């Protein structure tokens, strides 16, 4: 895949500078995470919770690598404004369907950057008194962390660069690439202000 991805995704060929994490590396990591989670949560009927859209592919792949019974649910959030987002103030626009009181909750996240959004969400979930609440993130950007997030399961540390693929977007595009790539500077300049 890596060698000839430009033939598979010609519409993106001119915009990706470099593949930094391959499809195979991602698959191997997701398998390993799923195996560990299955061992740790044996007999605990965990509920895995995600926030769309970025986590879509990781969530789907991870759940299928977990060999014990699990349940899934999603929340939808939106930032109040670009200013308040700096304080991590987000609004829940769609809540969980499933009650989490006394349940073992594993929050699944695509990438953690400042940690502000996730911190807000975790506080909200914690107030409902789950039996346990842990975080599994596929990608971690430690350089920009403003709030300490207890990360029980982690895939890859990323450099402080804007990346796309495997669910991560730039202006809603590139999510469908099966690897993690760096964007060319020309793409970022042409479409000012990446929305996160």
Region binding ligand IMP by CB under 6 A among candidate stretches 26-34, 35-43, 72-80, 159-167: 159-167
Distance, CA of 97 to CA of 117 (rounded, Å):
21
Distance, CA of 112 to CA of 144 (rounded, Å):
9
Is 110 a residue that touches ligand IMP (CB under 6 A)? yes
Distance, CA of 94 to CA of 149 (rounded, Å):
23
Residue 124 CB, shortest distance to ligand IMP, in Å, is: 14
Residue 165, both tokens: 């693929």
Of residues 50, 115, 130, 178, which one binds ligand IMP by CB under 6 A? 115
Phi, psi (deg, nearest 5) at residue 179? -125, 175
| Burial annotation 127-152 (CB, 10 A radius, 16+ → b, else e) | eeebeebbbbbbbbbeeeeeeebebe
Which of the listed partners (Mg ion, ligand IMP, none) does 187 bind, with a CB threshold of 5 to 8 Å by partner kind? none
Q: Please pick, among 113, 143, 148, 160, the residue that the annotation labels catalytic.
A: 113
String of contacts with ligand IMP for each residue 12-51, x by CB under 6 A:
----------------------------------------
169 is a catalytic site residue: no
Site for Mg ion in 140-179 (CB under 5 A): none
């Amino acid at each position: 895949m890596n060698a000839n991805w430009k033939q598979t995704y010609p519409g993106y060929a001119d915009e990706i500078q470099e593949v930094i994490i391959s499809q195979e590396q991602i698959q191997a990591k997701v398998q390993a995470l799923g195996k560990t989670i299955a061992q740790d949560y044996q007999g605990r009927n965990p509920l895995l919770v995600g926030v769309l859209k970025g986590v879509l592919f990781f969530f789907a792949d991870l759940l299928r690598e977990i060999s014990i019974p699990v349940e899934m649910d999603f929340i939808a959030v939106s930032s109040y404004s670009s200013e308040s987002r700096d304080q991590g103030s987000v609004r829940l626009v769609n809540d969980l369907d499933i009650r989490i009181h006394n349940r073992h909750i594993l929050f699944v996240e695509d990438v953690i950057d400042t940690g502000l959004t996730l911190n807000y969400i975790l506080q909200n979930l914690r107030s409902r008194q789950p039996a346990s609440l842990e975080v599994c993130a596929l990608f971690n950007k430690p350089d920009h962390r403003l709030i300490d997030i207890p990360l029980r399961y982690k895939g890859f540390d990323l450099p402080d660069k804007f990346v796309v693929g495997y669910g991560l977007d730039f202006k809603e595009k590139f999510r469908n690439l099966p690897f993690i790539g760096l964007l060319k500077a020309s793409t970022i300049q042409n479409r000012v202000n990446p929305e996160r």
